[in-house]
Structure 1
């Protein structure tokens, strides 16, 4: 068969295929209708895991092949990749359930997914973004705290309350029979000997006050900052569990003081946003009669002056120094220390006595102290 005859035989089929391709290209220019929704908690804690449900509803008057990809933001890792694929004609609903692991703290914007679609033959693939952003806040992780002394500044001295606070050892409310779990130090030995029954003292409790945690971002590195925000987050959670009004302050902002979930969320969100800032620290005004805990890597002169000014209004001020590399995070094993703490920390230790007379409690982690045992 000659070449012209071959061309005459092939040309009609080529034109037919080209016509079909052109028709499909025209018919499938518009994507199918897609509505995508996500169900995920508005916020979570770093190191935790939250459930995720993604639903997609598709509509198309023509048979369509599709692929929907919904990647998560960085530091938010799904247990299973979120994607839908298949064919649709008419209406179709899809659902994907999984969970996401929350990594580094911060604010994340989860953009809309991406839709890929094509004709049934898969000749012409197109893609378009789907509308719908999701915000996800990752708060700093928390850890259990053993705070025998540092917990006391969370509560003010003054009026008494029987429902919340610390025992006041000089205020005896009454006596009652011993119950399993009562501390041995509360046993009223003289009354027990007289009655022949083990009896414990019931004490009044000091009333609750507010707590402000100030995070010093003017010194230290990323290791200090991450440890400090975790400790601050744990203190906020501890105060909320006690029903205390809480606030978090940095040089950049101070959150409103309150007991509401919104106030707690604002405090945790401020910690999620915290970044190092070499500018001198600036401690805001503290609620009169409230209690202030300052977390710092060095304890500069400017910070000490700010603490003294805050003490004029605050009931208690605690200055906690976390020199980078001189404390143990939860799970870390003791290690040798070959260097001395920074000069600013050593100077702070020398001032501890004078600051205590001014009503400022100084707590410095030395050597291999655990961050869980501040004040212990």
Structure 2
């Protein structure tokens, strides 16, 4: 019986020594290599490297969960055994499923003695940010919505019409919009005894767009509207960059700096990545003089129209694009029957479209079964 007790005491001593020796966590260095940003719906490669420093031999497992909206093909788990410095590397593709600024929640290290008798765990802080920009889609934009030129020389056929600045009047030419007919001048020519008279039209000045600003109305609508509006805004920003125009994104909380350089583009896309619904009165920040302002809204009410009128004093052209909930088709969606009419605010906007056009504010409503890809076509 005595030898058995002796051996039992030895075993208990060894177990106690193991428990005592491995109670302190080893030194850990965790590094992640991945792009700082990416677009929604794309994939990126994540490389995780962990280095564990310990004077005693040990085994360890490190689990590094990704943010919920960033899904790795394989859960990030690194395991190793050894003494001194043990380095383990792990690679996996990531699917960027949702826009936003995502922060890694931190890793968890579990370690034990070589026999695996006592497992302990501790958090490993390694904060890292990944910005997922909203996805973009192609657009088919008519000339009335597209900013045609950056600053530069203009001709009678290039640039954007400015209804508030007239070059004069001229005779009607086939293809002129009916809204440009100068009815008073045309009527006065009928009384001159010159037969049928001469139909004349207003000849507005042409102005060049100096920038593109996209304003998102976040005061109304649901998450479906918001995601569609964000993707449309990102696509309009892309169109502006393709035309070598400075771009900016604005909400009621402010606007990103207008520019073509990388920092301005990142700032605009980051604002789109972070935008959320914000109940309250719309507020359009001051825009760059001579630029084009696109206003995206689910329910453009009188307050938003008043803001658009104020913005028109600075902008060359203002376009209000209404996206009634459930009335537009996202890329890839099939046409569907509409059972309800447009909201009252959208109907009221359509009734004011003619008057707003005369003030240089375009109105476009994405009605039932119209795709955001073919905006205005």
Tell me if TM exceeds 0.5. yes
Cα contact 1:212–1:248 (8 A) shared by 2 = yes
Alignment-derived partner of residue 249 in structure 2: 248
Q: Which residue of 2 aligns with 1:143?
A: 137
Kept after mapping to 2: 8 A contact 1:50/1:100: yes
Asked if 1:54 corresponds to 2:55, the answer is no
Counterpart in the other structure of 1:178: none
Over the aligned positions, Cα root-mean-square deviation in angstroms equals: 2.2
User: Which aligned segments of 4 or more residues in structure 1 are displaced greater than 3 angstroms?
Assistant: 155-159, 205-208
Distance change (3 Å), C-alpha of 1:34 and 1:157: closer
> 2:267 maps to what in 1?
266
Shift of 1:9: 5.2
Matched, 1:100 2:90: no
Structure 1 unmatched ranges of 5 or more:
170-204
Alignment of structure 1 residues 307-322 onto 2, 5 Å: 307-322=308-323
Task: Confirm or deny: 8 A CA contact 2:150 2:244 kept in the other structure.
Answer: no
Shift of 1:151: 4.5
Give CA-to-partner distance per residue, 1:1-26, whole Å, 9 cap, x none.
xxxx4xx4543233222211111112
Query: Compared with structure 1, are the counterparts of its residues 80 and 150 closer, same or farther at alpha carbon in structure 2 (3 Å cutoff)?
Result: farther
Structure 1: distance between partners of 2:28 and 2:241: 42
The normalised TM-score by structure 1 is: 0.84
Q: Structure 1's 97 and 158: CA in aligned 2 closer, same or farther, altered over 3 A?
A: closer
Q: How does 1:158-173 map to 2 (within 5 A)?
A: 159-160=152-153, 168=158
Say if 1:155 and 1:291, in contact at 8 Å, map to a contact too: no
Paired position in structure 2 for 1:124: 118
Q: Following the alignment from structure 2 to structure 1, what is the Cα–Cα distance between the partners of residues 139 and 150? A: 22
Give the conservation status (yes or no) of the 8 Å contact 1:149–1:375: no
Paired residues of 2:209 and 2:316 also in contact (CA < 8 A) = no
Contact persistence 1:217–1:250 (CA under 8 A): yes
In 1, Cα distance between equivalents of 2:154 and 2:63: 56
- The CA distance in 1 between the partners of 2:32 and 2:154, in whole Å, is 45
Partner of 1:109: 103
Pick closer, same or farther for the CA change 1:14–1:320 going to 2, 3 Å.
same
Q: Equivalents in 1 of 2:54, 2:234: separation in Å?
A: 49
Instruction: Name the CA distance, whole Å, in 2 between partners of 1:150 and 1:125.
Output: 68
2:358 paired with 1:368 = no
Question: What TM-score does the superposition give when structure 2 sets the normalisation length?
Answer: 0.83
Measure how far apart 1:158 and its partner are. Answer: 6.8
Aligned to 2:224: 223
Number of residue-to-residue matches in the alignment? 332
Q: Does 1:86 align with 2:80?
A: yes
The separation in 1 between residues aligned to 2:152 and 2:70, in whole angstroms, is 46
Distance 2:138 2:287 in 1: 26
Alignment partner of 2:254: what SS? coil
Question: Which shifted more, 339-348 or 140-149?
Answer: 140-149
- Contact conserved, 1:216 with 1:295, CA < 8 A, in 2? yes
SS of match in other structure, 1:168: coil
